[in-house]
Chains A and B, each alone.
Chain A
Amino acid sequence: MTFRIDTTINGDRTVIDVDPTLTLLEVLREQLLLSGTKEGCGVGECGTCVVLCDGEPIASCLVLAGDAAGCSIETIEGLADSGELSDVQRAFVRTGALQCGFCTPAMVLTATALLREDAAPDAEEVKKALGGILCRCGAYPKILEAVLEVSGEGA
């Protein structure tokens, strides 16, 4: 059985038939080949599967495909759509805010969502917003530094 959903992905209206027993994460990675979104634990603990849904970070491993209908989903691929890196991405590159890179898409998307809401978050607010994402390399200090570099507070 398939189920038709009408959704927006990285700004493009996308009408696709999905298997309703798949998660949004599986549809993004396997059907739409947007493999920038990573699967870590698969049960919401690690946060590496974060995508933005109507601007808000959500754990895509816990969302069934049908719930993407009517939403605007943003993945890491959407941030440099024009070929140019976003401010947050550039800050991560400049600061070296990663080691293996597995949590980076989730970190960058979550920081992007935070900075859209609040142009100048302080260190505590950044930590709180990123608190749901585990970095097994322990790159947290550099990640914080990168986000604060973009934040008006960090300047």
Chain B
Amino acid sequence: MKRLRQFAYSEPATLDEAVAALASGGEDARVLAGGTDLIVDMKTERLPTSAVVNIKKIPGLTGIDDLGEATRIGALTKVTAIEGSQLVQQRHPALVDAASVLASPPVRALATIGGNVGRASPASDLGPALIVSAASARIRGTMGEREELVEGLYVGPGQTSLTCSDIITDFIIPSPPVGFGSGHVKLGKRGGGTDIAMAGTSASVVIEDGVVRDCKIALASLGPIPFRAPTAEAALSGQAPTEETLGAAAEAAAEDASPIGDVRASASYRATLARVLTLRALRAAVASSGGWVVA
């Protein structure tokens, strides 16, 4: 493998220094978190990179905290830490499902949640799980701090709405109501989720009095970005969760998907996966809501 091209390297000690380093580094300055996407993108020259700003020396960007009405996950939190978090498992099982199938152990031990969103891969595992959990990202940039829904950050394949001096500092996920459940399912070519998804889906439901009051479905590797499946969500909302209604929503998800064919899977196979994986994610969401146990 060829070496990385030369770049300026810095390890700022504070967020302000990091934002300043990014702002002065210009368009090709990049944040380095776990490096499992950035180093690959630099080696393959997908991303021209003049400066690497390693944010791992900045204190306060890791950890999972219970804020009562919300859960905070620091941007530098490792995927393995999310996988092992009791709190996240209780509140947002889809995120733990997604973390546990993201890449292989030696990659997962480096990968961070902030980097997963920053890379904006259409095949992201954490992206759809964050979307169905209604997560927002807190962002620090030259204009100060702001908060945006993760769902709104995705602009195109590999592209977010972040400017080149923006840094995601943490994710805020509202605590779910009673009757909430969620799940994430993906299919990759190598077993056990050791590689990028051919397709992936996350689902969340709120079940009240035996009826799905709220439903979110998000798809990965089934369009240019991780995105919501509105027709599928509408199909299930207001219905009692049965194999039949979940199946109808899963059918609708295949309509919402706009898959392409590539080295991993053909477009038609992906359309089938959209249906099958949505059904599985919905079953997992309903089961974890405690409202209905899958036979």
Residues of A within 8 A of B (CB): 1, 3, 20-23, 26, 39, 41-45, 47, 50, 53, 56-59, 61-64, 66-67, 110, 127-129, 131-133
CB pair A26–B3 under 8 Å, yes or no, is yes
Query: Which segment, of B35-43, B88-96, B205-213, B239-247, faces chain A?
Result: B35-43
Known: A57-B105, A64-B35, A66-B54. A43 touches B40 (CB 8 A): yes
Q: Which residue on A lies nearest to B104, using beta carbons?
A: A132
Name B104-163 residues within 8 Å CB distance of A.
Answer: 104-107, 109-110
Give the residues in chain B near A59, CB-CB below 8 Å: 36, 106-107, 110
CB pair A41–B1 under 8 Å, yes or no, is yes
Give the residues in chain B near A47, CB-CB below 8 Å: 104, 106
Q: Which residue on A lies nearest to B5, using beta carbons?
A: A21
Known: A20-B9, A63-B110, A131-B105. A43 touches B192 (CB 8 A): no
Give the residues in chain A near B54, CB-CB below 8 Å: 64, 66-67
Residues of B within 8 A of A (CB): 1-7, 9, 11, 32, 34-36, 39-40, 43-44, 52, 54, 56, 103-107, 109-110, 190-192, 194-195
Interface of A is mostly: mixed
Q: Which residue on A lies nearest to B42, using beta carbons?
A: A21
CB pair A62–B35 under 8 Å, yes or no, is yes
Q: List 29 A-B contacts (CB under 8 A).
A: A3-B9, A21-B3, A21-B7, A22-B3, A23-B4, A41-B1, A42-B2, A42-B43, A43-B1, A43-B39, A43-B40, A44-B106, A47-B104, A57-B109, A58-B106, A61-B39, A62-B36, A62-B107, A64-B35, A64-B39, A66-B11, A110-B106, A127-B192, A128-B105, A128-B192, A132-B104, A132-B105, A132-B107, A132-B194
Min Cβ gap A59→B in Å is 4
Give the residues in chain A near B52, CB-CB below 8 Å: 64
Q: Which residue on A lies nearest to B36, using beta carbons?
A: A62
Q: How far is the CA of A143 from the CA of B194 in the complex (A)?
A: 19
CB pair B6–A129 under 8 Å, yes or no, is no
Min Cβ gap B36→A in Å is 5
Q: With A43-B1, A61-B39, A110-B105 given, can you name 20 additional A-B contacts, CB distance below 8 Å?
A: A3-B9, A23-B4, A23-B39, A41-B1, A42-B1, A42-B2, A44-B36, A44-B103, A44-B106, A50-B106, A59-B106, A62-B36, A64-B35, A64-B52, A64-B54, A127-B192, A129-B105, A131-B104, A131-B191, A132-B107
